[in-house]
Structures are given as C-alpha cells and as structure tokens.
Amino acid sequence: MPVNELRLDLVPTIDKIPSRAKRDILSKTLEGEFTTLFKGKGMEFAGFREYTYSDDASMIDWAASLRSRKTLVRQFEVQKNFSVFFMLDVSDKMLFCSTKRNKLKVEHGAELVSKLAYAMLQANNAVGMCMFTDKLVTRLRPNIGRGMIASINRELSNINNYGGACDFKQALLHTNTFLKRRCLIIIISDFIDMPSGWSNYLNGLRVAHELMGIMIRDPRDEELPHMHGQFVLEDPFSTQRYVVDVRKYKDAYANDVSKDEEEVREAFGRGTHTFVKLRTDKEFLHPIMNMLKKRAQLYKYV
C-alpha cells in the first residue's frame, strides 16, 4: 500500500533553528524529565556470583546454576551512557486511521521515535533505528551527536520507506544480527495478527538486549462501530473484503482483541516498565513517562 503523503511533526534539526527557539523544540517535560531518566541509566551484565539469603531470588540464573552446580545470581553495573535502538513497524497494517485527528498509526509512531530519540541524544546516549515490514527497510546503527536526529528524521520523512507486508520474525532476526553491542531495544507497532512463535524470536533478542514494547492502536483496532447494520472490512495485506454485521460480531471481536493483547503483554514480561499501550485518540506523553519512570525505579535509578 503506497503512501502519497506524510503528516509528521518531527523534532527539527538543531542546526536549522535559531538559538532562542532551541528551548522550545520539546516541552519542558520531554527535554527535562526524559533527559533525567535516560542520563547514565544503562545496565551492563558484569558476571555471576553465588547466591546469598539477602539477594533477590528473581536474579538467580538457573541455567548458569545448573551448569556450575551452585546457585548463582546475575550481577549488573551501571553504565554512564548506553545505546537505544528503535524498531518501527511501517507495514500496511500501520497505515490506518479512523479518528478525527486524521493521523495514521505509523505517523504517531514516527513522531514518537523522533521525540524520544532527540531526548536520548540530549542525554549523550547513542541512538539507532530501523523501519521494518517483512524486512529491514532502513537501518541506522546507534551513534551519538546532533547529526543522528537529522539522519533519523530524514528516514522517517521518506514516503518510500512506508508500506508492505509484515514479517515480525524476520525483522527480529535481522535486528539481532545487525546489532553488535548491547542496546535497549524499543519496538513500536500495533502488534496485530502476530505470527505463531514470534515470541521465541523476541526471547532471542532478550538474551543480549533489554526490550521495551510500545503498542499503538487505533480505536477501530479494538472495537467495531457502535452502530447497527453491515460494514465492509478489508484485509490490509490483500484485496479480500468481508461484509460483517457489527452488532452480531462486536463482542467476539473485542474478546479476540483482548486475548491477543494479553499475549503480547505476556511476551514482553507483563511488567509495566517493559510494555505500554497507546491509543491514537488519546495523548501519549503520560503513559510513556509512567513506563519510563517505572523502569527507572525498578533499577533504582531515581
């Protein structure tokens, strides 16, 4: 499904902004609180040591304990800076909107990547990104410096990077191969129609990286119209169309959506610091900030 136009409100490139306006690029919350949360907050695996009664049992590494025949816990040390890598789903299913804002799910996702990337770069962290369909459409290795936000915005603004089939497994597999250093990987998608076994590939990433999931849903993704009569539903990946009596199927539709969402939450570990759901008819800032603050509190960063 080709994209003819993008309605994006991206963070401007610093070099193109008068100095007096630089403070207005992001709200005080984004520029201030995000920088505070992300500055010097990386965790690096430092090795194992034998478990003591005062340790948190959740830190026990059972595989390593089995090999050594001792109960071992994982040790981590705080890094001064760390790397962040965004994975943005730009497949056909993200090219949808039913709200008055007239903004596609993928446009919301692109703006979110730009704003988060800017805040993290302001905190001197390395940031990278890929946009994916059934392949990695574009990819940027994590790097630092003001030039990175310009590179990220350039790719996000390219209409040729949007649309196509979706293969989550391949995207996760290629990302795992592409990244050479430990990163915090933030995956942004609607997570609709996930293939069987996709969470196994997610777990493959989790071995070497930290993961966070951001689900972006349109209201119509979660419920059928509150009306009587028949509506035409179209598969975004084919030309198939279905005539559906919404009153007859709305409960079954909502139940299936709830079940699928729970499976995605389960794949990310169910923690409120690892997953958040956003809706395109509601503001994004507070849910995102709550997730990041809970992540910071978990690691005793604040």
Query: Above 80 in pLDDT, residue 228?
Result: no
Is the pLDDT assigned to residue 27 strictly greater than 90?
A: no
Please write the tens of the pLDDT for every residue from 192-225: 999 999 999 999 998 889 899 999 999 999 888 8
What is the three-class DSSP state of 117?
A: helix
DSSP 28-58: HIIIIIIHHHHTT-EEEEEEEEE--TTS-GG
Q: Judge whether 94 lies within some domain.
A: yes
* Integer Cα distance of 77 and 46 in angstroms: 6
> Residue 63's domain spans which residues?
42-77
201 shares a domain with 65:
no
CA 190 to CA 183: how far, in whole Å? 22
241 backbone dihedrals φ, ψ, rounded to 5°: -130, 150
Residue 139 · residue 129 · CB < 8 Å: yes
Name the token pair of 9: 């409100």
Domain membership flag for residue 255: no
Q: Is residue 25 part of a domain?
A: yes
Give 56's pLDDT tier (boundaries 50, 70, 90): confident
Digit-coded pLDDT (tens) for 256-299? 999 999 999 999 986 557 899 999 999 888 888 888 777 766 65
124 & 167 share domain:
yes
Higher pLDDT: 157 or 120? It is 157
With a cut of 50, say whether residue 140 has pLDDT above it: yes
Residue 258: per-residue pLDDT: 93
pLDDT at 25 over 50: no
pLDDT-derived band at 29 (thresholds 50, 70, 90) equals: very low
Report the SS3 class of residue 247.
helix
Residues 118 and 163 in one domain: yes
The whole-number pLDDT of residue 100 equals 85
Residue 24 has pLDDT above 70, yes or no: no
pLDDT in tens, 72-90: 987 765 555 678 999 999 9
Shared domain check, 55 and 35: no
Does the pLDDT at position 58 exceed 80? Answer: no
Q: Is residue 51 part of a domain?
A: yes
Specify if 232 maps to a domain. no
- Judgement on whether residues 159 and 27 belong to the same structural domain of the protein: yes
The CA angle 257-191-270, to the nearest 5 degrees, is 80
| Domains: count for the chain | 2
Statement to judge: residues 158 and 281 lie in one domain: yes
Establish if 120 belongs to a structural domain. Answer: yes
Residue 238 domain-assigned? no
* Amino acid 296: pLDDT: 65
Residues 179 and 154 in one domain: yes
86 with 176, same domain?
Answer: yes
